[in-house]
Amino acid sequence: MANVVVVGSQWGDEGKGKIVDWLSERADVVVRYQGGHNAGHTLVIDGVSYKLSLLPSGLVRGKFSVIGNGVVVDPHHFVAEIAKIAAQGISVTPDVLRIAENAPLILSLHRELDALREDSNSGLKIGTTRRGIGPAYEDKVGRRAIRVCDLGEPETLMDKIERLLTHHNALRRGMGAAEVEAQVIHDELMAVADQILPFMDRVWELLDERRKRGERILFEGAQGALLDNDHGTYPFVTSSNTVAGQAAPGSGLGPTAVDYVLGITKAYTTRVGEGPFPTEQDNETGQFLGERGHEFGTVTGRKRRCGWFDAVIVKQTVRTSGIHGIALTKLDVLDGLDEIKVCVGYELDGERIDHLPASMGAQSRVKPIYETLEGWKETTAGARSWAELPAQAIKYVRRVEELIGATVALLSTSPEREDTILVQDPFQD
C-alpha cells in the first residue's frame, strides 16, 4: 500500500479539503506537514460543514492525525479550534492527535509584526493573512523560536523568551511600536501549556513505527505549490516550502516514505492576495467563475481573484512536486460556458516561453497565450462516472492532461465527497 502526499498545484484553494477527506477514509494516519492556521479546509460531511485551518482533516473521520514539525502552531488557536469542532460533535484527544515536540509556536508578537508590516506605508505588501505565520518561520530559521517542547520546561522558558525579545523589541522600536515584556509572553504560553502538552510526542518515531506496521499515511499540505518559498511567485509567497518534497522533512520521515504525489488542481485558476496572475480575468468571466465557484477564502473571507486554467504553471508544479496524477476539482463551475480558454504558453518581451520565470519583473510582464475550447451546456455537477459527463467536458479534461503532462486520477464534480470519479486509487500505487 502506498503513502500519499496531497499538494495544491496552483496558488491554494484548489479543493484539497474534500479530496483529503475522500482519501482519509482509505488512510490510517493523516499528517499536516507545513504551514499554519493561515490555510483553511472546508469539509462537507452529511450536509455539515467543518472548517479547519490547523487541525488535520482526518480528525473529522476519527483517523489518527499528526501535526508535524514543519507546521507553525498557534497554541491559542489550537485550543480554540479543538473546542469549535467539539461543539460539532468531534472529540479531539491525544488518542487521535499528536503534535511534534519540535514544532515552532506562533506568539501574539508574531501576529502583531505581521500586521505592522502589512499596514506599513513602505516596503512590499504580500497580502498575508496576518496570522503571524511568516514571522514565526523567521524565528525558526533564526534559531530563536519557542517550540512545543519548551512549554514542558518552564524553568528555562523565560530565558528563551528574553533571547527572542532581544530580536523582536529591536524590530518594534524601529517600527515605532511598544516593546513587549517577557512576562506577558510567558503568561500567554503558560495559560495554554497544560492543554497543549498532552498532545506532544516524538512524531518522527511514531510515524516510522506505523509505517513499518504497514499503515497507510496521508500527508496533507496547505496552500499551493506556487506559494512555495523557493519555487513559487517570490516574493508573493508563503514562508515555508509547500511543494510535495516538504512532506518528508516536515514530518520527520525520509523521502522514501512517499510513494505517490497527488496534485489537487482546480479546473480554472484562483489566487488570494497580491502577486502575479497571468490568466486573471478582472471582468465578467472572472465574476462568473467567482460567483459560481463561491470563491471566498475559508480563513479570511477574502474574495479570490479568478481566471482561466493556466496549463503552464500546473505543468511546472507537476515537475517541481513530482506529481504522479491530479485530482481535478470544480469542473462543474465551467458548466454552461460557450467557450473555455486555456493558457498554453506565455509571451515575454516578444518571445514565446513555456515556463513561469523566476524574477518578479518577468513574472509581471508575461502575457498568456490561449487555446480556445468548446464549452458544454449540460451539467457535470454530481457526476460519478465518465458516462455521466458531456462529451465536451471529457475533451476538456483530456486536453488538460496532455498540456500538464499528468493524468487525472480523481475528478471532483461537487463539494460532496461522493461526487467523485475515481480513475486511479493513489493508495494502490
153 within a domain of the structure (yes/no): yes
75 within a domain of the structure (yes/no): yes
Q: What CATH number is given to the structural domain containing 132?
A: 1.10.300.10
Q: What are the strands, taking DSSP E only, across 143-256? A: 200-201, 217-220
Average pLDDT, the chain: 93
Q: Does 421 share its domain with 288?
A: yes
Where a domain ends, among 215, 237, 260? 260
346 within a domain of the structure (yes/no): yes
Number of helical H runs and strand E runs in the chain: 11, 18
Catalytic annotation present for 294: no
398: Cβ–Cβ under 8 A, 6 or more apart, which residues?
Answer: none
What's the total number of domains in the chain?
A: 3
Where a domain ends, among 164, 196, 228? 196
- Cα 368 to Cα 342: distance, rounded to the nearest angstrom: 9
Q: Does 93 share its domain with 240?
A: yes
Backbone angles phi, psi at 5, to 5 degrees: -105, 130
Q: Does 252 share its domain with 371?
A: no
User: Per the structure block, which three cell numbers stand in for 328?
Assistant: 481535478
Per-residue confidence at 429, pLDDT binned at 50, 70, 90? low
Catalytic annotation present for 349: no
Rounded to the nearest 5 degrees, what angle is found at the Cα of 213, between the Cα atoms of 211 and 218?
35
Give per-residue pLDDT as tens, 349-380. Answer: 999 999 999 999 999 999 999 999 999 999 99
Q: Give the domain range for residue 17.
A: 4-99+207-260
Backbone angles phi, psi at 342, to 5 degrees: -130, 130
Q: Does 310 share its domain with 333?
A: yes
Q: Does 332 share its domain with 359?
A: yes
Q: Does 89 share its domain with 116?
A: no
The one catalytic residue in 63, 77, 110, 140 is: 140
The one catalytic residue in 28, 37, 41, 139 is: 41
Residues 30 and 58 sit within 8 Å (Cβ to Cβ): yes
77 within a domain of the structure (yes/no): yes
pTM above 0.85, yes or no: yes
Binding residue numbers? 12-18, 38-42, 129, 143, 223, 238, 298-304, 330-332, 412-414
**Does residue 331 sit in helix, strand or coil?**
helix
Q: What CATH number is given to the structural domain containing 253?
A: 3.40.440.10
201 within a domain of the structure (yes/no): no
Per-residue confidence at 421, pLDDT binned at 50, 70, 90? very high
Strands 407-412 and 325-329, by their bridges, are parallel
Give per-residue pLDDT as tens, 50-97. Answer: 888 999 988 988 999 999 999 999 999 999 999 999 999 999 999 999
Where a domain ends, among 221, 244, 260? 260
**Locus of grid cell 513499518:** 212
Q: Does 337 share its domain with 418?
A: yes
94 within a domain of the structure (yes/no): yes
Amino acid at 420: T
Residues 5 and 244 sit within 8 Å (Cβ to Cβ): yes
Give per-residue pLDDT as tens, 203-245. Answer: 999 999 999 999 999 999 888 999 999 999 999 999 999 999 9
Q: What CATH number is given to the structural domain containing 302?
A: 3.90.170.10
Give per-residue pLDDT as tens, 158-180. Answer: 999 999 999 999 999 999 999 99
Sheet of 260-266, strands arranged across? 200-201, 97-100, 64-67, 29-32, 217-220, 4-8, 260-266, 325-329, 407-412, 420-422
The one catalytic residue in 13, 21, 28, 139 is: 13
Q: Does 313 share its domain with 423?
A: yes
317 within a domain of the structure (yes/no): yes
202 within a domain of the structure (yes/no): no
Q: Does 394 share its domain with 278?
A: yes
- Cα 172 to Cα 116: distance, rounded to the nearest angstrom: 9
- Cα 301 to Cα 168: distance, rounded to the nearest angstrom: 30
Q: Does 220 share its domain with 92?
A: yes
Q: Does 275 share its domain with 404?
A: yes
Sign of CA dihedral 189, 194, 199, 204: positive
Q: Does 269 share its domain with 256?
A: no
Catalytic annotation present for 266: no
